[in-house]
Amino acid sequence: MIPKVFKEVIDLGDGREISIETGKLAKQAHGSVVVQSGKCMLLCTVVSNYEQKDVNFLPLTVDYREKFAAAGRYPGGFFKREARPSDGEVLTMRLVDRVLRPLFPKDYHSETQVMIQLMSHDPEVMPDAMAGLAASAAIQLSDFPFECPISEARVGRVNGEFIINPTFAQLEESDIDMMIGASADSVMMVEGEMDEISEEEMADAIKFAHEAIKVQCAAQVRLAEAFGKKATREYEPEREDKDLEKKVHDMAYDKVYAIAKAGSSKHERSAAFQQIKEDIIATFSEEELADYGGLVSEYYRKAEKAAIRDLTLNEGLRLDGRKTDEIRPIWCEVDYLPSTHGSAIFTRGETQALATVTLGTSRDANQIDMPSQEGEERFYLHYNFPPFCTGEARPIRGTSRREVGHGNLAQRALKGMVPDESPYTVRIVSEVLESNGSSSMATVCAGTMALMDAGVQMTKPVSGIAMGLISDADSGKYAVLSDILGDEDHLGDMDFKVTGTADGITACQMDIKVKGLSYEILVNALKQARNGRLHILEKLTDTIATPNANVKEHAPTMVTRRIPNEFIGALIGPGGKVIQEMQKETETTIVINEDPVTEEGIVEILGVGKKGIDAVMAKIDAILFKPEVGSIYEVKVIKMLDFGAVVEYTAAPGNEVLLHVSELAWERTENVSDVVNMGDVFDVKYFGIDSRTRKEKVSRKAILPKPEGYVARPPRDDKRSGGRDNNRGRDNRGRDNRRDDRKPREDKKED
């Protein structure tokens, strides 16, 4: 018997709908929903253990996976089974996690798992835009302590019109691709890329998405009420002691305030703060510490945070002595690494990134193989964050989700400035060598300079800056912080990263921690970010103003050539013999792709030095060579025969033609060697296809002057006796006539 199913439908306003359904699948989970739009279906389940873990954070895991069966496909690789998540799946996990995590109580420490699976794929629907909705809807059906429903929506803009959850095709035409996460009251997360839009346009896009999210949140409330809203579970809250909190605050606040105001370096400041904490702990007995030592540390952190925030709001000063809109000192360098195709160092305060650029062919493109998306990236960026960059020693267990997310942000910031006609596949690798502040924005800056150093013809340089916000709802005071430190990232109410050119924003990432942030404050923060971004951009262009005109001497040059489809086989050769030998002889890399529209062959030639590339181009010219009737060409004798000489066009080696003995000279030629010999070079005239021999005809004598007194031989008389057609009498009597002349066999028998 099919259980009772509960369903809510959300109208997107343009004929499309999103439905949320529960009651049919995964009923042993604490909450489960199926979210559907078109043929796209996501199953989301949530489970949270009832016992609290002995940790001081929420052990939340958000997992998003796309099943290949959802698109009727097999997983790639030897083992036909989904394995580690792709970068695309990791990015979706991060988007959902960043919106959900702040809405759980700070003292809720039960292991919690949110699992979202793409079960059915629709090529017209982007599933990641519905993942946040699915997660929140499932939580609303559970008994988790969770503040309020949220949702996420993608917003695009085509021909000036905003679109919620655009299709893949619409996104190709859009100048905005932003994902917004919000509750009904507050925007909480923004991430995306743009085509140099203004701060006001970005705010308008966020507002538009928020209105759609309000409708999705209301649908979740209705579904939970229809299903039967569960009572929120009870859990053991963290221990509190208000008297102890006040005592620690009074002991720490003024001392922390004084050190924060001193404007010291990261390590000096950290050591001083640690000393204050140790001095406070030393005032308690062993018995007291055994009873509530953990609370002392927690209350010290709260006092430290309050003192630093108050310093900024009251005096406009920051931990390192800067004003709120001041950028740390910057120094840059390009061409630092001698063997790379391009390199740059960007250092801002205590944050440093070393970026390298590698140029390659389409064969080096990053392959994307997901059920919801297939293709390749000809421009991609990898970001590495080793533990030494923060002075730590810890295990390295592969690429972290954070590294994937930060690398993707920097990639989106830069990719729009690399022209579509750029022939190269470009890989940027950013090694973060120091970190105290935004290393992803340092990556954008280092990446810009490395691209220009490599000779990649960027349309415009891009810079990035990380911003913060400290606000006090009671007093109405707020301070926007430019170029935030690592400590300011943790204690602020909003941290956002903005990248762009001098003309507009190309990418952003925001996490907003306060409710009801006004759009006025948001726009003011974005404008202050623009000022900082332009200041940093000036430092970059002082180091390298424009892209180098050419790639480095040791870097490969890329040349592309289009050839008719029918010549692709000749260029590859049987079993790839021709192209392999060509690559070996010229020390180049040759890649042939087919244009899906024109079906032409696109030949990519990558090589260091002009000589090898020129040799490949000459070979292609030879393969494509088509002599024109009436034109004169230089040829070389490559073979001697009794009835002529085989000659090769010197402009197209490998293209051969027979020069018949009768076309060598005006005089009668008995021996070919009387006129030409092996290796001789001379001109011939091309006559096209000979109507008699059906072969190409060239002539040497046609461009030579006729000898004095030369008399042409009379043409052959085909009607003369002994001619081929007359000697058998076939021109006047056909096969049918011949049969008519014969007497019947029966008559012969009678005779």
Question: 20 CB contacts (<8 Å, ≥6 apart)?
Answer: 7, 8, 9, 10, 33, 34, 35, 133, 134, 137, 219, 220, 223
Q: Does 87 show up as a binding residue in the annotation?
A: no
Q: Does 241 show up as a binding residue in the annotation?
A: no
* Phi, psi (degrees; rounded to nearest 5) at 557: -95, 140
Q: Among residues 134, 40, 20, 135, which one has the least CA distance to residue 373?
A: 40
Q: Are 529 and 482 in contact (CB under 8 A)?
A: yes
Q: What are the start-end ranges of the H helices in 544-671?
A: 568-572, 577-586, 610-624
Q: Could you give the CA distance from residue 465 to residue 325 in angstroms, rounded to a whole number?
A: 11
CB burial class (10 A; 0-12, 13-18, 19+) of residue 84?
Answer: exposed
Here the tokens at position 353 are 């990134």
Specify the 3-state DSSP secondary structure of 344.
strand
Q: Could you give the CA distance from residue 648 to residue 656 in angstroms, rounded to a whole number?
A: 4
Q: Among residues 655, 712, 711, 714, which one has the least CA distance to residue 686?
A: 655
Q: Could you give the CA distance from residue 501 to residue 272 in angstroms, rounded to a whole number?
A: 40
Q: Could you give the CA distance from residue 40 to residue 125 in angstroms, rounded to a whole number?
A: 6
Q: Are 208 and 166 in contact (CB under 8 A)?
A: no
Kind plus residue range of the DSSP H or E element containing 482 = strand 478-482
Q: Could you give the CA distance from residue 346 to residue 452 in angstroms, rounded to a whole number?
A: 14
Q: What are the start-end ranges of the H helices in 455-548?
A: 486-491, 519-543
CB burial class (10 A; 0-12, 13-18, 19+) of residue 504?
Answer: middle
Q: Among residues 207, 429, 446, 200, which one has the least CA distance to residue 346?
A: 446
Which residue type occupies 102?
P
Q: Could you give the CA distance from residue 599 to residue 565 in angstroms, rounded to a whole number?
A: 6
Q: Could you give the CA distance from residue 653 to residue 578 in angstroms, rounded to a whole number?
A: 14
Q: Within 13 Å and on the Cβ side, how many CA atoms surround 192?
A: 28
Residue whose entry in the numeric block shows the structure tokens 């966020």 = 206
3-state secondary structure 358-374: EEECHHHCEEEEECCEE
Pairing state between β 110-120 and 60-66: parallel
| Known binding-site residue numbers | 489, 495
| Known binding-site residue numbers for Mg(2+) | 489, 495
